[in-house]
Amino acid sequence: MTSPAIHPSILNADQAHLADELKRVASADGLHVDIMDNHFVPNLFGGPSLVEAVLANTSLAVDAHLMIDNADRWAPVYAEAGCAIVTPHLEASTAPIRLARELRRLGAGVGMALRPATPLEAVEHVLGELDLLLLMTVEPGFGGQPFIEAMLSKIERARAMVGARGLELRIQVDGGVTTRTIERAAEAGADVFVAGSAVYRADDAAASLSRLRALAAAHSH
Ligand code: DX5
Ligand code: ZN
């Protein structure tokens, strides 16, 4: 498995000072940009113009987590905008394999996200197309929620499934990742960790990032 990566989520940043908030997390391994359409989730955040503003102000690779309906129609826009990885939700795509190939054709890495209630079996047929599998560890929509412990066995099963198929894709967890939960998520087999409030509510975001990374590294396989 590759070394653990920490991707701060700017949902939890001070939106009035976005450029400064991006500087605070310059030592991160990537940047997670949440996009919400008020339909797929009960919250509204971001859009292509936010992604463009972020890309103009960071050198980190951006992964866009699309909590939006009609993923087949809208996800390609985020690939065209220059995101390193575009991660639509499986539940919002009618043709996930076709969408994955379209995102790749546009030059983006390809992710696919699952809500906590969506079984792994639903994404099994798409795994061979992916660079990243995002397992939500909270109900998508808001930062600051507690990690759903029951997702640990789903992470373990995903890691086993990926290993059995000899695939290279990374397993990202998102929601409630803190210094108290990251070790178990790493032990279960996650290797990319989204951290929103744990990083942005810390006085020293860089210190929080390195602490999270060290905890994950000590417990990764
Ligand atoms: C929630 C978002 C997350 C959120 C994580 O739906 O997808 O990326 O920002 O925030 P924390 O780390 O505070 O749970
Ligand atoms: Zn997210």
What percent of the chain is modeled with pLDDT above 70?
Answer: 100
Q: Which of 63, 131, 174, 191 is catalytic?
A: 174
Active site residue 191: no
Q: In the prediction, which pLDDT does 168 show?
A: 93
Strands 109-114, 85-88: pairing is parallel
Identify whether 69 is a catalytic site residue. Answer: no
Residues touching ligand 1 (Cβ under 6 Å) are 9, 11-12, 32, 34, 65, 138, 140-145, 174-177, 194-198
Q: What is the pLDDT of residues 51-80, one digit of tens each?
A: 999 999 999 999 999 999 999 999 999 999
What pLDDT shows up at residue 1? 59
Three-state DSSP class for 174?
Answer: strand
The minimum-distance atom of ligand 1 relative to the CA of 195 is: 12
Q: 20 alpha carbon to ligand 2 midpoint, in Å?
A: 20
Is 127 within 8 Å of 104 (Cβ atoms)?
Answer: no
- In tens, the pLDDT along 86-117 reads 999 999 999 999 999 999 999 999 999 999 99
Per-residue pLDDT, 2: 76
The H-or-E segment that residue 155 falls in is helix 151-164
Residues in the chain, pLDDT under 70: 1
Beta bridge partner(s), residue 135: 114, 173
The pLDDT score that the predictor gives to residue 89 is 99
pLDDT at 221: 80
pTM of the model: 0.98
Contact 149, 175 (CB under 8 A): no
Query: Would you tell me how many other CB atoms lie within 10 Å of the CB of residue 33?
Result: 24
pLDDT for position 117: 98
Pairing status of strand 170-174 against strand 132-136: parallel
Please list the helix, strand and coil fractions of the chain in percent, rounded to the nearest 5, in that order: 45, 20, 35
CA-proximal residue: ligand 1, atom 10 (nearest): 143
pLDDT, residue 73, reads: 98
Question: And the tokens for 124?
Answer: 């099994």
